[in-house]
A and B are shown apart, each in its own frame.
Chain A
Amino acid sequence: MTEIRLTIPGEREYFGVAHLVLGGLASRHSLTIESFEDLLLALDGLLDRTRGAPAVTLSVHVDGDEIQADVGPFAAGSVSDELERETENGIGLRRLLDTVVDEFSVADREGGDWVRLTKTARSGGAG
């Protein structure tokens, strides 16, 4: 299993670095451009919630035809609370993730929330 781990400040100007890391792995594992763009939308949706944090870590794993990206830590309970607050007609985090990744989950780790995004290679046609 390939894994790349990147820690950056929670500031917008560093988010592009995370894009390139994810792109590097997407490139080597046949993720379509459309799937890659979707995965970036999910990643940015999460990174945006770390603005101002001293550090946010992106850990990308490739397992078979799946790319998994772990992002965190977020304040304990903050992401899971937000996912529960989803409104019917808005584009909150839940609707965003439901639409653009194949799976996502939230884990409580090291006293904070970590979100795992899963995207399957060549799933671009399905979103």
Chain B
Amino acid sequence: MASDDQLLLKRYHEQGDVSAREKLIEHYMPLVRSLARRYSYRGEQLEDLVQIGAIGLIKAIDRFDVSRGVELTTYATPNIIGEIKRHFRDKGWSVRVPRGLQELNVQLARLIEQLTVQLGRSPTIPELAEAAGVEEEEVLEALESGRAYSSVSLSTGGGGDDDDELDPLESLGEEEHEYQVSEDRVVLEPGFKVLDERERMILHLRFFKGLTQSQIAQQIGISQMHVSRLIRRSLEKIRAEIAADEAEQPQGRVARG
């Protein structure tokens, strides 16, 4: 297939054969779709992301240097991902969180942990506001900003806003063969394959073992707020994966995640 690509690329670049370019685009659209699916949990329609990814593919084909001896797929993949990431960056995501709210968010996460120990239960919003010395509305706004941000963030809880960080999802294709079938078969469910080990464990503890977020936080050694965000994000990923599956196989699914 790679030699076919080389022939098509030569026909396009050396002879201006536009039909060769079209064949290449058609041939690589499944790759575009596969890469776009990794980002569909961020709230965009898969088809829109496929269209954006296709622009990256076309750019890759147009800029490809036949003499360099690399496979088109090697060159096209980062171009497609780059185009999709650029789209998210350009869109601004309306969650470009002001620094003040970011700092309050970090402070709240710490206070939630302290107050949970102190009170023997999760604090209420007024208790949190009092401890932070801010209004309740500010607490709600900071929590919402963090929630919105975490659902679109590429990093798993880093809290920064750098879209160029390595996306852990980008290695999913290589990791899929490593999935273990656990005794409760949770991993077999539609959508779970997009989750990493920690996310699967957290969902399992919350939804199958009935542990609270605080109990899970204690068991795993992360904050309750972080558990909450990982649960939210994992459920979004599952929903996006199942939606993508449904889009491709309209009659294939029995339950939504």
In whole angstroms, how far apart are the Cα atoms of A24 and B203 in the complex?
A: 28
Say whether B207 contacts A24, CB under 8 Å: no
Would you call A110 an interface residue if the criterion is a C-beta within 8 Å of the partner chain's C-beta atoms?
A: no
| B80 sits at the interface (CB 8 A) | no
Whether A87 lies near B122 (C-beta < 8 A) is no
Residues of A close to B148: CB separation below 8 A = 16
20 A–B pairs (Cβ distance < 8 Å), ordered by A: A19-B144, A20-B141, A26-B125, A27-B124, A27-B126, A31-B124, A31-B125, A32-B121, A34-B212, A44-B235, A87-B255, A89-B185, A90-B255, A92-B255, A99-B206, A124-B122, A124-B212, A125-B122, A125-B214, A126-B212
Asked if residues A32 and B239 are in contact (CB atoms below 8 Å), the reply is no
CA distance A35 to B94 in the complex (A): 27
Is A74 at the interface (CB under 8 A from chain B)? no
B207 close to A96 (CB less than 8 A): yes
Within 8 A of A (CB), among B188-216: 188-191, 203, 206-207, 210, 212-214
Query: 17 additional contacts, CB 8 Å, given A16-B147, A37-B213?
Result: A19-B144, A20-B140, A27-B140, A31-B124, A32-B121, A32-B123, A32-B124, A33-B143, A34-B212, A40-B147, A41-B231, A82-B255, A87-B189, A87-B255, A90-B255, A99-B207, A124-B121
Q: Is chain A's interface secondary structure helix, strand, loop, or mixed overall?
A: helix
A49-B257 Cα distance, complex, nearest whole Å: 11
Whether A45 is near chain B, meaning CB under 8 Å from some CB there, is yes
Q: Mark B123-141, 1 if CB is under 8 A from A, else 0.
A: 1111011000000110111
Distance of A8 from chain B, by nearest CB (Å):
14
Interface of chain A residues 68 through 127 with chain B (CB within 8 A): 82, 85-87, 89-93, 95-96, 99, 122, 124-127
A41 touches B235 (CB 8 A): yes
- The verdict on A127 contacting B212 (CB below 8 Å), with A13-B94, A19-B144, A96-B235 known, is yes
Which B residues lie within 8 Å of A91 (CB)?
189, 203, 207, 235, 238, 257
Question: How far apart sit A96 and B256, CA to CA, in the bound complex (Å)?
Answer: 11
B121 adjacent to A90 (CB under 8 Å): no
Evaluate contact between B256 and A49: CB separation under 8 angstroms: yes
Q: How far is the CB of A33 from chain B (nearest CB, A)?
A: 5
Q: Is the beta-carbon distance between B254 and A87 smaller than 8 angstroms?
A: yes
A91 to B187, CA, bound (A): 11
A78 to chain B, nearest CB (A): 10
Q: How many residues on the B side are at the interface (Cβ–Cβ under 8 A)?
A: 45
User: Does A89 lie within 8 Å of B235, measured CB to CB?
Assistant: no
B249 nearest CB across to chain A (Å):
16
Q: Kindly state the separation between the CA atoms of A35 and B116 in the bound complex, as whole angstroms.
A: 13
Contacts of B124 in A (CB 8 A): 27, 30-33, 122
- Of A13, A34, A38, A99, the residue contacting B210 (CB under 8 A) is A99
Contact with B along A38-66 (1 / 0, CB 8 A): 10110011001100000000000000000
5 nearest A-B pairs in the assembled complex, by CB-CB distance: A34-B122, A32-B122, A27-B125, A124-B122, A23-B140
Contact flags (1/0) for B225-236 with A, using CB distance below 8 Å?
000100110010
The listed residue (A45, A48, A86) touching B255 by CB distance below 8 A is: A86
Highest count of chain A CB atoms <10 Å: which of B112, B122, B190, B238: B122
B25 at the interface (CB under 8 A from A): no
Contact yes or no, A90 B189, CB < 8 A: yes
The CA of A95 and the CA of B255, in the complex, are separated in Å by 11
Q: How far is the CB of B187 from chain A (nearest CB, A)?
A: 9
